[in-house]
């Protein structure tokens, strides 16, 4: 009899990567994916707790699973990821429908934990130790994409930005060995993968836990030299730790994308300090200048938080002026969310919700104008675009990404190019979120 699994995934790229590791282990145990979790024998909810909105949505799903499990006796509900880590055993107490809890350091031990549960029926959690290095993954990979692969290069974060829960749920920085990373990439190349995104909460401190300097630059060089690797991306850079050496290495590389995602969070030096970001406005702008010196055509994107405790109208205007000054190609904008256990949650002068919302709207308006302006500069140019496939809304239109990660749409010709191949597209129109063109 076929046994089915389903994974509900929330959160960042690290979680998407973890979900692929869970899927691979289930495949190796003989399970088959089903798109309908009502018929799944194993359901994984891979959770995120970075903002309250994510947590609320996930608690709703866990609640719904009570009935889903009642209709499908014998099914196993596993809660994994950052919320499992944050809640610990409390989750098992509060939600009897949860059978297994797995913290973030144990992602690659899932298979043995599930097998234990199936023979013992002991509801249990494994999440105490955030200092262990996750086992190297030896199983099958079940990747969503047929050409782009996530590759974790390090786990955890040492930064303790005062608003952020991640260091508490992902533990301290632990870097994988460069050989293990390259082996994984070579294996994926042999399966047809062309684009690799190196993942870590702060990739610029890769190797520092082993006392190595500039290890991230050296890793980029190693991956750049692997035959068959077409594009290399990485997430996320911390502006404090992004060295000139890394920027130079990227500029000289053949395959590292000229896209720099450098989360600034705020434009006010006072707020950056209260956030414990380790740089101020001037240092950040210096980094932007360094990037543009080595890579004049660099695509820049960022993350921004509005309404951090104590943020005044003047601080917020500093954010607007920084966004205008840098003119980012893209930005992820967030309303500050109070996360209990983090220092900012206890800070005075929490900003009222309506003020936060109003600031977010104003910020998005400024950013959208920048995105459009930046996209317009590409009109008339022919860019290499990696094909993703037919667009979801119109199968007659193809979609893909530039080196700078801009989304591009173009009419499908007589032959449909294969996902992962690179085609030259002449850009004819620019919108805020995308570019439209024609294959040359
Ligand atoms: N390690 C990465 C990603 C962290 S989470 C980094 O440092 O950039 C991704 C983004 O979520 C952060 O950059 C930040 O902008 C946002 N974020 C984190 N905690 C938040 C909070 N409590 N409220 C609102 N946004 C938050
Ligand atoms: Fe959170 Fe800061 Fe670490 Fe990013 S660098 S994960 S924002 S603590
Ligand atoms: Fe969320 Fe955990 Fe990522 S809290 S953003 S899934 S590291």
pLDDT band at 131 (very low <50, low <70, confident <90, very high): confident
Nearest CA to ligand 1 atom 1: 201
For the CA of 344, the nearest ligand:
1
Confidence band, pLDDT 50/70/90 cuts, at residue 134 = confident
Counting ligands in written order, the one closest to the CA of 45 is: 3
Mutate to test the pocket of ligand 1, among 54, 333, 334 (most ligand atoms within 8 A of CB): 334
- Is the CB of 371 within 6 Å of ligand 3? no
pLDDT digits (tens, 9 = 90+) for 295-318: 999 999 999 999 999 999 999 999
Q: What is the position in ligand 3's atom list of the atom closest to the CA of 15? A: 6
Say if CB 281 and CB 322 are below 8 A apart.
yes
Q: State the Cα–Cα distance between residues 161 and 184, nearest whole angstrom.
A: 31
Q: How far apart are CA 230 and CA 209, in angstroms?
A: 29
> Is the CB–ligand 1 distance for residue 336 below 6 Å?
yes
Ligand 3 site, residue 12, Cβ cutoff 6 A = yes
pTM: 0.96
Measured between alpha carbons, how far is 334 from 264 in angstroms, rounded to an integer? 12
Ligand 3 binding pocket includes 170 (Cβ within 6 Å): yes
What band does 114 get if pLDDT is binned at 50, 70 and 90?
A: very high
| pLDDT digits 0-9 by tens, 250-276 | 999 999 999 999 999 999 999 999 999
Nearest CA to ligand 3 atom 7: 166
Q: Which of 199, 303, 330 to mutate to test the pocket of ligand 1 (most atoms within 8 A of CB)?
A: 303
pLDDT in tens, 349-366: 999 999 999 999 999 999
pLDDT value of residue 124: 86
For residue 235, the ligand closest to its alpha carbon is 1
Say how far apart CA 386 and CA 424 lie, in whole Å.
9
Best residue for ligand 3 mutational test, from 10, 47, 48 (most atoms within 8 Å of Cβ): 48
Give the C-alpha distances (Å, rounded to integers) separating 260 from 96, 161, 264, 329, 403: 44, 20, 12, 10, 11
Q: What is the pLDDT of residue 414?
A: 87
The ligand placed nearest to the CA atom of residue 305 is 1
Q: Do residues 100 and 66 lie in contact, with contact meaning Cβ atoms separated by under 8 Å? A: no
Give the rounded percent of residues in the chain with a pLDDT score beyond 90.
93
């Amino acid at each position: 009899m076929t046994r089915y699994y389903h994974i509900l995934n929330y959160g960042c790229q690290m979680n998407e990567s973890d979900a692929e590791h869970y899927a691979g282990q289930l495949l190796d145990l003989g399970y088959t994916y089903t798109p309908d979790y009502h018929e799944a024998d194993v359901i994984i909810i891979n959770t995120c707790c970075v903002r309250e909105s994510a947590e609320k949505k996930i608690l709703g799903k866990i609640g719904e699973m009570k009935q889903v499990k009642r209709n499908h006796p014998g099914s196993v509900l596993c809660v994994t990821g950052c919320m499992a880590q944050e809640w610990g055993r409390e989750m098992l107490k509060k939600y009897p429908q949860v059978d297994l809890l797995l913290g973030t350091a144990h992602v690659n031990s899932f298979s043995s934990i599930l097998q234990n549960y199936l023979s013992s029926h002991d509801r249990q959690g494994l999440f105490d130790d955030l200092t262990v290095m996750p086992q190297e993954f030896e199983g099958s990979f079940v990747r969503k994409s047929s050409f782009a692969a996530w590759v974790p290069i390090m786990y955890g974060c040492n930064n303790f930005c005062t608003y952020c829960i991640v260091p508490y749920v992902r533990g301290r920085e632990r870097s994988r060995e460069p050989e293990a990373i390259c082996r994984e990439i070579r294996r994926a190349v042999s399966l047809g993968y062309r684009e690799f995104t190196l993942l870590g909460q702060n990739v610029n401190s890769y190797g520092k836990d082993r006392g190595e300097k500039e290890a991230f630059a050296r890793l980029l060089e190693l991956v750049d030299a692997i035959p068959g690797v077409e594009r290399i991306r990485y997430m996320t850079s911390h502006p404090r730790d992004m060295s000139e050496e890394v920027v130079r290495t990227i500029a000289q590389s053949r395959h590292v994308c000229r896209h720099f995602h450098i989360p600034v969070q705020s434009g006010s030096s006072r707020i950056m300090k209260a956030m414990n970001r380790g740089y101020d406005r001037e240092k950040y702008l210096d980094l932007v200048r360094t990037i543009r010196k080595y890579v004049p055509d660099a695509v820049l994107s960022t993350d921004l938080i509005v309404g951090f405790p104590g943020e005044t109208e003047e601080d917020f205007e500093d954010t607007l002026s920084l966004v205008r000054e840098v003119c980012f190609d893209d930005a992820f904008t967030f309303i500050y969310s109070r996360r209990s256990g983090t220092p900012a949650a206890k800070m005075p002068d929490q900003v009222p919700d309506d003020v936060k919302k109003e600031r977010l709207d104003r910020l998005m308006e400024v950013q959208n104008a920048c995105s459009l302006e930046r996209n317009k500069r590409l009109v008339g140019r022919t860019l290499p675009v990696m094909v993703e496939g037919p667009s979801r809304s119109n199968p007659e239109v193809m979609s893909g990404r530039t080196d700078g990660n801009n989304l591009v749409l173009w009419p499908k010709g007589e032959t449909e190019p294969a996902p992962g191949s690179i085609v030259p597209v002449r850009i004819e129109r620019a919108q805020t979120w995308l570019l439209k063109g024609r294959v040359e």
